[in-house]
Amino acid sequence: MQDNRRRLLGAGMTGMVGSLTGLLADSRWARAADEGPGVMKLSTATINDVQHEWLRWFAAEVARSSGGKLRGEVFPASQLGSIPRQIEGTQFGSIQAWAGPPQFLAGIDSRYELPSAPGVFKDAAHAHRALQDPEFNASLLALGSNRGLKGIGAYVLGSAGFVTRTRATKLSDLEGKKIRVLAADMDREEMRRLKVNGIPMALGEVLPALQQGTIDGMMSSLPVVTPMRYYDSAKFYLETGHAMVVSMTVVSRLWFDKLSPDLQAMVVDSGRRISQDIGAWSVEDYGHAKEAWIKNGGEVNTLSEADATQMTRMMASIGSEVSARKPEEKSLYEQMVRAAERTAKG
């Protein structure tokens, strides 16, 4: 299946500002939204990782399946603006699809942060299976439908860890450090329990902040930081695997609703199949990113058995406690846990 994808390629939290009325009054947004359903701008903040690859597969597949009626161009590395601007553009039709960690959408619906809950999945392969569970997948992708978004894919980027300016090999090495996190309750609670100063920050600002010493590190995954050459400024990576970094692709509801029923079905089906197929690619990509990190002078460390056990215990209740604050969030969290239980065996 992956070879077929490659042949196709060869052939072919956010803070919302303003209102719909205010944005559409801006002629730039209005012109972009009126370009028509056949033009697709596909955007992500990262490059040469699973999010970028997912969008490339999607562009190739929909071009083939639609006979050229839908034409896509992928814009990685925040070429279309910061992540909040990319999400706004997707909501209001100037961008047709955005791929990224759903925590960035927590300002739209707090339930988007749930896949980042620590301790739910035993590894990336397990997370991938749970994300494709029909019941949970349908509920997760349905979020944001009343805010201009339509989910068409959920998949795993990689396991979480910490890239730091100075060597960290144990939990106590992280205490007091200023670590960039996503602006979601799950991330903030993780940092509180680790006695870390969690600093929400746009991805484009992270590398300069590391270079200048404004922050000490970043919670992320190797497939994100390796292609962006973080090893030149912060070469130490602590591989904790306490949670999974999950990605989603959402399309513009304004754009989607303009499509004919057959094209709508094709977009949804393409997103579903690509999300299922890309799991093995994502697992392999993590290994390649780790190899490249070390080859370029980076260092990868893991926790001792005692520290790993302590971290598991420390993080175990975060998902249930954070989600319990809102009934709708609690319901979806419990649905995710059930999906994880159903898919625990490969």
* Predicted pLDDT of residue 114: 97
Residue 324: pLDDT band (50, 70, 90) is: very high
* Predicted pLDDT of residue 183: 80
* Predicted pLDDT of residue 202: 87
Q: Residue range 219-239: average pLDDT?
A: 97
Is residue 35 over pLDDT 70?
Answer: no
Distance CA 212, CA 7 (A): 43
* Predicted pLDDT of residue 126: 97
Which one, of 132, 134, 135, 184, lies nearest residue 160 by Cα? 184
Structure tokens at 3: 């070879």
Is residue 154 over pLDDT 50?
Answer: yes
Higher pLDDT, 314 or 35: 314
Residue 313: its H or E element: helix 305-315
pLDDT in tens, 300-323: 999 999 999 999 999 999 999 999
- Give 237's strand partners: 163, 300
Q: Residue range 179-202: average pLDDT?
A: 94
Distance CA 322, CA 59 (A): 37
* Predicted pLDDT of residue 22: 34
Is residue 216 over pLDDT 70?
Answer: yes
* Predicted pLDDT of residue 59: 98
Distance CA 85, CA 70 (A): 23
* Predicted pLDDT of residue 28: 40
Asked if residue 215 lies in contact with residue 209, where contact means CB atoms within 8 angstroms, the answer is yes
Structure tokens at 24: 């559409």
CB-count burial class (<10 Å; 0-12, 13-18, 19+) for 93: buried
Residue 8: pLDDT band (50, 70, 90) is: very low
* Predicted pLDDT of residue 39: 81
Distance CA 12, CA 10 (A): 6
* Predicted pLDDT of residue 36: 52
This prediction's pTM: 0.89
Instruction: Give the distance between the most distant pair of CA atoms in the chain.
Output: 58
* Predicted pLDDT of residue 26: 39
Distance CA 20, CA 300 (A): 46
pLDDT in tens, 70-117: 999 999 999 999 999 999 999 999 999 999 999 999 999 999 999 999
List, in order of start, the domains of the chain with CATH numbers: 2-342 (3.40.190.170)
Q: Residue range 273-290: average pLDDT?
A: 97
Kindly state the DSSP code that residue 14 receives in the 8-state scheme.
Answer: P
Asked if residue 237 lies in contact with residue 163, where contact means CB atoms within 8 angstroms, the answer is yes
Is residue 236 over pLDDT 90?
Answer: yes
* Predicted pLDDT of residue 37: 59
* Predicted pLDDT of residue 38: 78
Q: Residue range 141-148: average pLDDT?
A: 97
Is residue 283 over pLDDT 70?
Answer: yes
* Predicted pLDDT of residue 6: 42
* Predicted pLDDT of residue 15: 34
Q: Residue range 124-131: average pLDDT?
A: 97
